[in-house]
Structure 1
């Protein structure tokens, strides 16, 4: 609209914003879809401005202002994770936004075009993708029964059906099918096949504040350098324990964030703070110093001697917030995979 007011003709204005003349007319005049549904114009022609397509939509969706900031930061060379931190969004949200709304001509990101595309994809109700009676439903149900994670199922679909677009489902679609869809058909079909076996999904909310866990002050994950998030430099680890029957036995797990290289710690004599500290120091001490940059752990009592670990290995230890295992998601996912080989109830001594 602004370009038209500046004297450009319709074809020139459409080309300047990176859309076809036909798309521009749809924005201006609206259209009737094949199902008979009328879509109002996306341009408030007489008001002289583009409609804000997100004014009545939940804040969990990106707004036009956020899309403009994404475009500016992306052009300036800011990384996806850097953009996500600026917006307070997850890196996957920003990455998906840039990928799915890339312009077909040059791969560039145009925020207003992206906002209109998002609005056009939003009409509800939408038909569920994973529906009973479909091949996709059968494949997902079979995968969950085999205790595959939604991420594993999604990736296997791409490999096993490379030319079949109908056999596609991202991991979030599978989670939605299990936890959200009405009547929970898939949930009843697969029972507790998901490795977590939860009846509901846990939100990634901040853990509740509580008194300090250890006598020695903890360095929290909020103080961890931002560059660790990019996984560009190896040597940053995440760790936890996998416990056996009645928590009487355990093994330690350490996962390197960049390579996903995994180290298992034998704890035959117990998994209290002293034994865990000795096991970590002995095992990690065999690695080159450049691979010992940091360790992120939850606030379990087994790491009460974290200062001794830092002193022995010259490796800073960071702690997750309470009830926030997703803050060490690489290790959490690895532990889920290991549980297929060490199911709960196993004697790990």
Structure 2
């Protein structure tokens, strides 16, 4: 598929998603309690088949879903994405028993999933995580006790099941991490909500000798970092798609406002300073969209440069969205700062994606590392 355009059926699907978001999902989102999991909204996403599509479609469709929903209802987009992020490790690395137990519940919107990677002292440097999986019994017994804390975990502490990354081999960096699938009713599991700038369900998760066994392992022992990176490589371009959706919503609002608002004897759109700013907003948004689509297509095709492309897509799209939303606020003036205004909402929402799933600085590090790796490989091949 050309990365510069969408096929007619995909374009029509995106329009359908936006209509569903406006008619079915927006009303449910408006009834939700800030800072809490909106279970009716999650259930609706399941009933519409959108959660299930997360696990049967490719990266490009994931991006199209996130962009389309974000353009109309960021709450619905986020609820969908978090179900995917929390349960993708189960779909990709889980055992048959794990998949049979949890995927039907998650896809139907009956169970809420969480991806528990970040810690108070291990955010962008995920390999530094310290949550300890301590042996519980003789060596090789396949039993551990989890002790420590996770922080800034979406859907915590209300999730029904968590993908938890814990250190099984001290001092081994990324090579000593194991992914566990932990039901929320497991003894010793606790947590508390956090009050964030954008009022999503985000909190801490505490582990007080939480028992896990080899039956809870996702993938292989000490190979959990692969599980995390496999998930993040898929979802990073789609974080960019979320950002593009917000940027487009801000641009749409700005086009309408600058057409209807009159100042200095005519509509704002007739002022060159305004029209040039709108042109810049539109150009950057489209550039970010194309890079997101290209990264997603590369993932779907199994291209070798997915980490670099995914990092580029997330970096450009999230930084672009910040610029576009800020410019939109400036062009709207004080009305955009009123509580409840679309741009006031987007202004709070747009900040976090530049940090989570790898901050912008981390994305630049990944990009540079991949570029130099390619250069060194080329030199070695030519030697």
When normalised by structure 2's length, the TM-score is 0.29
Structure having the higher Rg: 1
Higher helix share: 2
Higher strand share: 2
Q: TM-score, normalised by structure 1?
A: 0.31
> Which of the pair has the greater relative contact order for Cα pairs under 8 Å at 6+ separation?
2
